[in-house]
Amino acid sequence: MESLNFYEPPKGGRVSSPKFRGLAQISEDFEGLPKGVTHWDLVHLVKDVGPHAGFTSKMITLLEYYVRFTREGDWQEGGRPIVYQSQAKTAMHFRVSERQIQRLETMLFERGALTWDTAANNKRFGVRSESGELLYASGVDLAPLAALREELEKKKEEIRLADAA
């Protein structure tokens, strides 16, 4: 006799995990970058520490590409650095498959550099005002990158000291 299984695993969407919830909380708590620090400073910092901090060249390239879609106001208090370009369009730009972009995003997520703020259907979209302010968006949230700044600065100093020794 066939067993009846009434439990169906969830389909689609992101599986909640302590890491996902933690990065989502970092995004919620995002209050902008400190004075004197820009989003490009974060990109340069990631480039400086690169593999010493767990970033491959492909991860850095994708992260820099995504940062280009944000504006200075997205990184200030009250802003949200969310990139709403589709994975398909990103994959076309890099001439790779969507799956490769998904893997790179997952690697950046595991490293703590991004999370996702997506709609229930995982679609990415956004609207900016005429002045460029992000009114609402669903996509890749780069706020966790700002939270990595201190850790990356420490790593950069470790690298500098090791090189000097």
Q: What's the pLDDT at 165?
A: 82
Q: What's the pLDDT at 32?
A: 87
Q: Which amino acid is it at 148? A: L
Q: What's the pLDDT at 76?
A: 92
Residue 64: exposure state from Cβ atoms within 10 A (0-12, 13-18, ≥19) = middle
Angstrom distance (rounded) from CA 149 to CA 74:
17
Q: Is the pLDDT of residue 6 over 70?
A: no
Q: For residue 156, what are the contacts with CB-CB under 8 A and spacing of at least 6?
A: 45, 48, 49
Across residues 119-127, what is the average pLDDT? 80
Range with lowest mean pLDDT among 4-8, 100-104, 157-161: 4-8
Write down the CATH number for the domain with range 18-28+35-164. 1.10.10
